[in-house]
């Protein structure tokens, strides 16, 4: 991701060199800045803008489509960024709950065997 930050024309901040959660947040902010800039410039020549940002024209088209969806102008059934984030959160929560259920199942089997002795 640091490469993407560099490609978007930003200097790598000191917190990126430090590592950890700060790296992710700093890189995410800079990538979002580049995406927002790309969305504003989309009316211009897409290939030129993509080249200027150091991304593929398809990435630029994807960002533009997502911006349209966020404004409510997307195609039917297209998710907004907020809906994507909620879907990711719910999938993560679902996976955690599935792991918890599996642990509880194994614990129930273990304790059932222990009580039979």
Give the tens place of pLDDT for each residue, 38-60: 556 555 677 777 787 788 888 88
First to last CA, the chain: 55
pLDDT reported for residue 48: 79
Q: Residue 35 pLDDT > 50, yes or no?
A: yes
Angle at 107 between CA 101 and CA 113, to 5 degrees: 140
Q: Residue 90 pLDDT > 80, yes or no?
A: yes
Give the closest residue to 38 by CA, choosing from 16, 23, 26, 56: 56
In the chain, the percentage of residues whose pLDDT exceeds 90 is: 28
* Secondary structure E strands in the chain: none
Least confident piece of the model among 44-48, 60-64, 71-75, 76-80: 44-48
């Amino acid at each position: 991701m640091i490469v993407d930050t560099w490609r978007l024309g930003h200097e790598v901040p000191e917190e990126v060199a430090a590592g950890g959660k700060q790296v992710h947040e700093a890189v995410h902010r800079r990538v979002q800045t580049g995406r927002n800039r790309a969305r504003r410039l989309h009316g211009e020549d897409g290939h030129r803008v993509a080249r200027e940002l150091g991304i593929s024209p398809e990435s630029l088209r994807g960002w533009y489509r997502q911006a349209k969806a966020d404004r409510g102008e997307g195609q039917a059934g297209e998710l907004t960024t907020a809906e994507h984030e909620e879907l990711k959160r719910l999938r993560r929560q679902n996976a955690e709950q599935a792991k918890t259920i599996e642990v509880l199942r194994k614990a129930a089997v273990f304790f059932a065997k222990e009580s039979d002795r």
